[in-house]
Amino acid sequence: MENLKFFVYKPLSVLNTQIIKSERNPTWANSRASIDQGAGHSIVLTMAHYAQNNPRINAFAYSDDPPNLPPRNEKSKAKGVVLVDNGADAAAWFVHTASNFLAHLGGYSWLQSETTKGHMFLCLSLDKANLNLVAIRYQEPYIYANNLPPAILNQYMELSNLVNGVDVRITPFLMHAKFTTKAAHAVANIQAFGKHSKSFADMYARVLRNKFAANIRIWAPSDTRSKSICKGQYQLRKIVSPMQLAGSQKYMKMLFTTIIVIMISLKNSMAQTATCKNDANGNIDW
């Protein structure tokens, strides 16, 4: 099994994307195919068993602007898909920023109106034991597709609470979960944070900077109340557009996403169908 990590970035007004992999010295490279093609792209291959029926795959998808539905007036802007393989110990968490993407069992398609925008796509391959640690319930997402059977929901209570709309009613209104990816020789330690609508932007300063023991940079549309926090050992800074990404400058008004950059020092750190795929259709255990 090929152990890679990837993060896909689509610049504005183009269909060609760029990908960064988990190499010793990771660098941005061009994807093998454009994002609107039906094959040969890591996103298309990763989502193949979500876009087309596969009895082994169960999934749920969430978005504030889902496909074939009007935009939802939701508190959360989260968009993504969780895939669960019922024939192997495998699951995948696919996170993205694109509106009207991707219809469950509707075949793969790319909405041309999204081409003018910049987007990002991230996929993590997980063991099923980590499903309860997917922290999106605190983000109150709108779930537009779900075929998780009772057998899975009864085993993973956090997923059950999510898909059944069980509200988070007691403090703290912040979920922090730590889990690892499937890579056998290059495990990535992942920390996921879900912020409830009852918590505020200052949670980045009070919680994240201490958890990561690092300086944090945030690049996102925000109101005038959001400020840089420059006190103490670890700082929270609001990035001023433009920002250097994938070899060129990006402007906030053109990039429809939120970026949090963690400035941190690294420390030692059966074919699966519910897993991330690279451009060559190899399993990606990020």
pLDDT in tens, 170-188: 666 666 677 677 765 556 6
> Does 278 score more than 60 pLDDT?
yes
Q: Which residues are within 8 A (CB) of 27 and not within 5 positions of it... i.e. 6 or more apart?
A: 20
233 in a structural domain: no
CB-side exposure of 19: number of CA atoms within 13 Å? Answer: 23
Instruction: Specify the pLDDT at position 127.
Output: 86
> Which is more confident, 93 or 24?
93
The helix/strand/coil state of 236 is strand
The helix/strand/coil state of 212 is helix
216 in a structural domain: no
119 in a structural domain: yes
The rounded distance, in Å, linking the Cα atoms of 122 and 101 is 14
Instruction: Specify the pLDDT at position 208.
Output: 63
The rounded distance, in Å, linking the Cα atoms of 67 and 22 is 31
Model confidence pLDDT, tens digit, residues 81-93: 999 999 898 898 8
Instruction: Specify the pLDDT at position 258.
Output: 43
Model confidence pLDDT, tens digit, residues 36-71: 987 889 999 999 999 999 999 999 999 999 999 999
**pLDDT above 70 as % of the chain:** 57
Q: What angle do CA 152, 157, 162 make, to 5 degrees?
A: 95
Q: Which among 223, 249, 254, 256 is positioned nearest to 238, based on CA atoms? A: 223
What's the structural domain count of the chain?
Answer: 1
> Does 32 score more than 50 pLDDT?
yes
Range of the domain at 108: 6-199+268-284
pTM score, whole prediction: 0.74
218 in a structural domain: no
